[in-house]
Copies of this chain bind each other. A is one copy, B any other.
Amino acid sequence: MEQKEKKISKAIIQRLPRYYRYLGELLSQGVDRISSSDFSKLMGVTASQIRQDLNNFGGFGQQGYGYNVKNLYEEIGKILGIDRVHNIIVIGAGNFGKALAGYSDFEKRGFRIKALFDKDSTKVGKTYSGITIHPMEELRTYIADNNIEIAALTVPKAAAIELASVLKDTGIKGIWNFAHTDLNVPDSIVVENVHLSESIMRLSYNMKSRNAGS
């Protein structure tokens, strides 16, 4: 079995959370197992694609049985690293920051938003969805004292670039970047970008090309 530490393609990583989501929905509907072909129909991808993807992780299907929903859900959860809690802070208590703080779906998946941070002193001390806004001066000590692994940046571009530089020696392991810029960080920190402007441009492109009848 060569399943361990095999290099997984980026495309598969893109798809794994979607498998996880569908399996979670099946679980909550009380579905114990699903055939490869039903799973394929549900997800709108070919059964062979699903098999190929899951084979990268040792393969969880059994001939003539299909997939055990709970097992597969848990295994993918482990692969994604969400079989344990991740502590998060959100820097920038604007609308996006508040939206993240109020999004209970994250908590369900073990992503626990512990605090908001903002440089605006008039916001400090307020709470949103039970999460308190802290002053920027407390950033370093808060991260150290609360085992924070992920910082979500919901601040303007220039502030995000500055923050990336501040965060690099705080022990933060991941930055969830909502600012419309790329960040320079050491290799030890993973950046996941949510570039909404790029997302809406892709929408526009696809609308245009679909209209052209392609």
Contact = CB atoms under 8 A, between A and B. Distances in A.
Interface of A: 5, 7-8, 13-14, 16-18, 20-21, 44, 79-82, 86, 94-96, 98-100, 102-103, 105-106, 109, 111, 149-150, 173-174, 176, 180, 182, 187-188, 190, 192, 194-212, 214
B200 A81 contact: no
A202 to B, nearest CB: 6
Given A5-B214, A109-B197, A201-B82, A190 B176 contact: no
Given A198-B17, A200-B111, A201-B20, A206 B182 contact: no
A214 to B, nearest CB: 6
Contact of A188 (B21, B180, B201, B210): B210
Contacts of A203: 150, 174, 176, 190, 192
| Copies of this chain in its oligomeric complex | 2
Contacts of A182: 44
Given A197-B21, A199-B192, A204 B174 contact: yes
A147 to B, nearest CB: 14
Contacts of A13: 202, 205-206
Contacts of A196: 100, 103, 106, 194
Interface of A is mostly: helix
A201 B80 contact: yes
A200 B206 contact: no
Contact of A201 (B17, B99, B173, B187): B17
Contacts of A5: 212, 214
A206 B21 contact: no
B187 A206 contact: no
The 9 closest A-B pairs by CB, nearest first: A95-B99, A81-B208, A17-B198, A192-B203, A17-B201, A81-B204, A190-B206, A96-B99, A174-B207
Contact of A214 (B7, B188, B209): B7
Contacts of A200: 106, 109, 111, 150, 176, 192
